[in-house]
Amino acid sequence: MDRLKFATVWLGGCSGCHMSFMDLDEWLFDLAQVADVVFSPVVDTKEYPEGVDVCLVEGAVANEDNLEMILQVRRRTKVLVAFGDCAITGNVTAMRNPLGKPELVLERAYLDPSNLRPRIPQEAGIIPALLPRVLPIQEVVPMDHYLPGCPPPAARIKAFLQELIAGRTPQLNGCNISFG
């Protein structure tokens, strides 16, 4: 049997979803029996490979790097999963949206609360430009599955992946699709 090419991606989020994923503990060994983790913040691949079978995407699309990344990921992935509330709703990442355009957001973040040498980091190539507003992933590319939660509990991730690995379509319902 072909081994599953598995990836996780971290866009605009706190990495809490990845932490929750790590909370799968020894089940990760089970996962490793059937899948290769070909790209993830926890592995050292630099480029998102072609032909990925399953990818969990944490975080919202907040800046140009995120946008470029998610477009590439969509092109190269068969089954794309919106992983956690930030990916699905924008969640905390999108709390900047009501503030308005990026300049105002940066002012609010770097100038307003600071009393010691307030300045906005502007050197090119260091911080990717913010998008006009943070977007939930499905507003940018079509998604195949949604795995809500902030973060999704490890048991929920496990239940979901088990179905997927078994070749079935995960059907989450009830308390398994609660936000927050």
Rounded Cα gap, residues 96 and 130, in angstroms: 11
How far apart CA 92 and CA 12 sit, in angstroms, is 10
Nearest distance in Å: CB 7, other proteins? 14
Count residues contacting other proteins (CB under 8 A)? 43
Q: Three-state DSSP class for 152?
A: coil
Binding residue for other proteins, selected from 133, 156, 158, 164, defined by CB under 8 A: 133
Candidates 12, 59, 136, 152; binder of other proteins (CB under 8 A) is 136
CB of 121 to other proteins, least distance (A): 23
One symbol per residue from 160 to 179: x for binding other proteins (CB under 8 A), - otherwise; what is it?
A: ------------xxxx-xxx
Complex with other proteins: residue 35 or 172, whichever CB lies closer = 172
Quick one: tokens of 138?
A: 């499905």
Say which DSSP state 166 is in.
Answer: T
- Is residue 103 part of the contact set for other proteins (CB under 8 A)? no
Does position 157 interact with other proteins (CB under 8 A)? The reply is no
Q: Would you give the binding string for other proteins spanning residues 49-68, x where CB under 8 A is met?
A: ------------x-----x-
Handedness of CA 104, 109, 115, 120 (dihedral sign): negative
For residue 136, cis peptide bond before it (omega within 30 degrees of 0): no
Per DSSP, what are the bridge partners of residue 55? 7, 80
Tell me how far apart the alpha carbons of residues 113 and 124 are, in angstroms, rounded to a whole number: 24
Q: Which stretch binds other proteins (CB under 8 A): 4-12, 36-44, 109-117, 125-133?
A: 125-133
Among 18-26, 27-35, 82-90, 110-118, which window interacts with other proteins (CB under 8 A)? Answer: 82-90
The token duo for 82 is 């919106």
Does the footprint of other proteins cover residue 155 (CB under 8 A)? no
Q: What is the CA radius of gyration of the chain?
A: 17
